């Protein structure tokens, strides 16, 4: 449990962090809350030569509203997301999801940006990020670009971020209270075997699913099947499509078949809960 040797640098601005990333290239890793990187380093699965700690860049930690959107800084912790009055009132799905992440210590240190960039296929945030159609800002040597949530998750542990970029901000829309996140936990790790986030509005629903496939996905077949119907029967029929078109993961914790089943069950439950709110 002793990591290999590394250098540690602590930039005070995003520009400085990007410059450091450019300088060190593949030898460097960005550290925020450290809850994915440090365990990997302790097992020596990750052996970066340089660790760039962006955790002290004050301008990266905030939750604020501007023009119908709520902007969340990359190093905002899960517990800040969980307890934010603004989010609880105007985008409660994100707070509800954050409350399911790990335990209190994890939520006190882990950050939304770190979690998204790590893109663990069983982490919680991708489900609401997809269902909310969030936008993600990435800053690199070529400046800032904005990526839509459905373009962000590329594959297992892979996102649209480039090696010399830093995720700086996540933006989610203000929603009605008709949202829900339902998760079945992997018993040992607490990660999602199937986590389903639903955002409902009179015109339709959006469903994000995490834990089931190599990357989180929008359950578009569910969304299309339910349309603007709201009956229990319609929910049941729609939820049956929760794992359509994906190849579910299978491991010692749940077979592919069971994960797909949990996706359907949790989709039904999340739809029921969201539509009852």
Partner 1 sequence: MSDATPYIGRAMKRVEDPRLIQGLGTYTDDLRLAGLLHACILRSPHAHARIRRIETSAAKAIPGVVAVFTGADVNDSCGAVPCAAAIPDLKAPRHTVLAGDRVYFVGHAVAVAVATDPYIACDAIDEIEVDYDPLPAVVNAMEALKSGSALTHPDMGANVAFTHVVNGGSDIDAAFRNADRIIKHRLYHQRLTPMPIEPRAVVASYHRGEGTLTLWTSTQIPHLLRTLLPNMLGIPETKLRIVAPEVGGGFGAKLNVYAEEALCAHLAMRLSAPVKWVESRRENAASTIHGRDQIGDYEVAVKNDGRILGLKATSVADLGAYLQLLTPAVPTLTGLVLTGCYKIPAIRFEVVGVYTNKMATDAYRGAGRPEATYLIERLMDVVANELKIDRLDLRLKHFPAPGDFPFATSCGVTYDSGNYQGTLAKAKQLADWDALMADRKAARAAGKLFGVGVSTYVEICAMGPSKAMPAGGWEWGCVRMEISAKVTVITGVTPHGQGQETSFAQIVADRLGVPIEDVAVLKGDTNVAHYGRDTYGSRGTAVGGTAIVMSVDKVIKKAKTLAAHLFETLDDYVVFENGKFKAPGITAREIAWSELAAEAYLAKNLPAGFEPGLEASSFFEPENFTFPFGTHICAVEVDRDTGEVAITKYVAVDDCGNQINPLLVEGQVQGGIAHAIGQALFEQTIYDENGQLLTGEFMDYAIPRATDIPEYTLGSTVTPSPVNPLGVKGVGEAGTIGATPAIANAVIDALTPLGVVHLDLPMTPERIWRAMQTRTVATV
Binding site for partner 1 (CB under 8 A): 1-5, 43-44, 184, 187-189, 252-255, 258, 261-262, 265
CB of 23: closest distance to partner 1 in angstroms? 25
Cβ partners under 8 Å of residue 140, min gap 6: 18, 21, 162, 164, 165, 166
CB of 189: closest distance to partner 1 in angstroms? 4
The residue (of 65 and 185) whose beta carbon lies closer to partner 1 is 185
CB of 123: closest distance to partner 1 in angstroms? 13
Judge whether 175 and 92 are in contact, CB under 8 Å. yes
The residue (of 44 and 64) whose beta carbon lies closer to partner 1 is 44
CB of 184: closest distance to partner 1 in angstroms? 6
- What does the alpha-carbon distance between residue 190 and residue 86 come to, in Å, rounded to a whole number? 27
CB of 215: closest distance to partner 1 in angstroms? 19
The residue (of 63 and 275) whose beta carbon lies closer to partner 1 is 275
Number of C-beta neighbours around residue 253 at 10 A: 17
Secondary structure (3-state) at 167: strand
The residue (of 161 and 213) whose beta carbon lies closer to partner 1 is 213
Judge whether 93 and 128 are in contact, CB under 8 Å. yes
CB of 254: closest distance to partner 1 in angstroms? 6
The residue (of 112 and 239) whose beta carbon lies closer to partner 1 is 239
* Angle between helix 232-239 and helix 256-276 axes, rounded to 10 deg: 150
The residue (of 13 and 255) whose beta carbon lies closer to partner 1 is 255
State how far the alpha carbon of 42 is from the alpha carbons of 5, 28, 47, 61, in Å. 11, 16, 9, 27
Q: Retrieve residue 239's tokens.
A: 């939820």
Burial class (CB in 10 A: 0-12, 13-18, 19+), 26: exposed
């Amino acid at each position: 449990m002793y990591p290999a040797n590394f250098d540690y640098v602590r930039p005070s601005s995003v520009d400085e962090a990007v410059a450091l990333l450019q300088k060190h290239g593949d030898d460097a890793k960005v550290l925020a809350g450290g809850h994915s990187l440090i365990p990997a380093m302790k097992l020596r699965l990750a052996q970066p030569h340089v660790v760039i700690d962006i955790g002290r860049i004050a301008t990266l930690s905030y939750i604020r509203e501007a023009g119908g959107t709520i902007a969340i800084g990359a190093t905002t912790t899960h517990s800040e997301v969980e307890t934010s009055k603004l989010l609880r009132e105007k985008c409660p799905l994100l707070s509800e999801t954050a409350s399911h992440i790990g335990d209190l210590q994890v939520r006190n240190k882990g950050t939304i940006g770190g979690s998204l960039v790590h893109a663990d296929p069983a982490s919680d945030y991708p489900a609401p990020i997809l269902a909310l159609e969030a936008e993600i800002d990435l800053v690199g040597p070529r400046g800032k670009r904005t990526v839509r949530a459905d373009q962000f998750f590329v594959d297992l542990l892979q996102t649209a971020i480039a090696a010399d970029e830093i995720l700086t901000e996540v933006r989610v829309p203000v929603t009605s209270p008709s949202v829900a996140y339902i998760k079945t936990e992997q018993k040992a790790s607490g990660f999602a075997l199937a986590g389903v986030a639903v955002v409902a509005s009179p015109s339709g629903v959006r469903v994000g699913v995490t834990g089931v496939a190599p990357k989180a996905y929008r359950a578009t077949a569910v969304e299309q099947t339910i349309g603007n119907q709201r009956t229990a029967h319609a929910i049941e029929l729609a939820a049956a499509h929760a794992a359509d078109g994906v190849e579910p993961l299978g491991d010692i914790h749940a077979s592919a078949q069971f994960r797909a089943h949990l996706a359907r069950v949790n989709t039904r439950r999340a739809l029921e809960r969201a539509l009852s709110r």
